[in-house]
Amino acid sequence: MSQRPRHAPDPARRRETSRRAILTAAFELAGEVGYSGLSIEGIAARAGVGKQTIYRWWPSKGAVLLDALMLALQGEAPQENAAPQDDAALPDTGDLRADLKTVLRATVAELNDPRFDGPLRALAVEMLNDPLLAARYAEHIEKPMRRMKTARLHSAQRAGELPQDADLGLAVELLWGTLRAAWLERHRPLTPAYADLIVDTVLDGLRAGARR
């Protein structure tokens, strides 16, 4: 069931310093040279590490990048057995509209952070080519985040702020997905006002006479 690849390396013998050096180098290089300029060879050189040490522990360039981002974002790479921040939750003041604006504005700020732009784009591109990487990302980042988001919407549903039959998954896609697409495809500058606009429009809809 939990079948390992041939000659699986022993994680207990793994050298932590090399792991950190690799992830740091990958993160920095992704920011400096972008996705298309990122290479395993470059990461190994910058990290002062043999290429084999990368190939030993990661199945692909994208997997390195994912761990690098998780290290940079959360201060730690995903642990197989450790649930990542189960206690984290979105703010819940009782006012869904205000809370969503707060959160989407924070997302805007994060996506505008020049340190994360390069690595995040590189990871996004990698995931389009690599379903396994996308699955890993979904497992470790997408799913927990989506759970938090859905939880907040569900709370609003219970409070009567959202209809009982609302499709909360689609709501997440409309709110955050639209923001993410605007960032990824650069067709809009990301501003707090844009975040607010998304929230208002998604909550109120486009129907004539809708009041905000």
Partner DNA sequence: GGTTAATCGAGACGGTACGTCACGTCTTGTT
Partner DNA sequence: AACAAGACGTGACGTACCGTCTCGATTAACC
The CA–CA distances, whole Å, from 4 to 1, 7, 9, 10, 71 equal 9, 8, 9, 11, 24
The single residue among 90, 111, 125, 145 that binds a copy of itself, judged by CB under 8 A, is: 125
- On whether the CB atoms of residues 176 and 149 are closer than 8 A, the answer is yes
- Residue 209 interacting with a copy of itself (CB under 8 A): yes
Q: Which does residue 18 touch among a copy of itself, DNA, none (CB within 5 to 8 A, set by kind)?
A: DNA
CB of 1 to a copy of itself, least distance (A): 25
| Contact stretch for DNA (CB under 7 A) within 8-16, 141-149, 188-196, 204-212 | 8-16
Number of residues lying near a copy of itself (CB under 8 A): 46
CB of 48 to DNA, least distance (A): 5
- On whether the CB atoms of residues 184 and 121 are closer than 8 A, the answer is yes
Cα(102)–Cα(119) distance, integer angstroms: 24
CA 193, chain centre distance (Å):
22
- Residue 49 interacting with DNA (CB under 7 A): yes
Number of residues lying near DNA (CB under 7 A): 28
Q: DSSP letter string over 42-84?
A: HHHHHHT--HHHHHHH-SSHHHHHHHHHHHHHHSSPPPSSS-S
CB of 189 to DNA, least distance (A): 29
The CA–CA distances, whole Å, from 50 to 40, 47, 135 equal 10, 9, 27
The single residue among 35, 57, 144, 166 that binds DNA, judged by CB under 7 A, is: 57
Q: Which residues contact a copy of itself by CB under 8 A?
A: 34-36, 121, 124-125, 127-129, 131, 134, 138, 142, 160-163, 166-167, 170-171, 173-174, 177-178, 180-182, 184-188, 197-198, 201-211
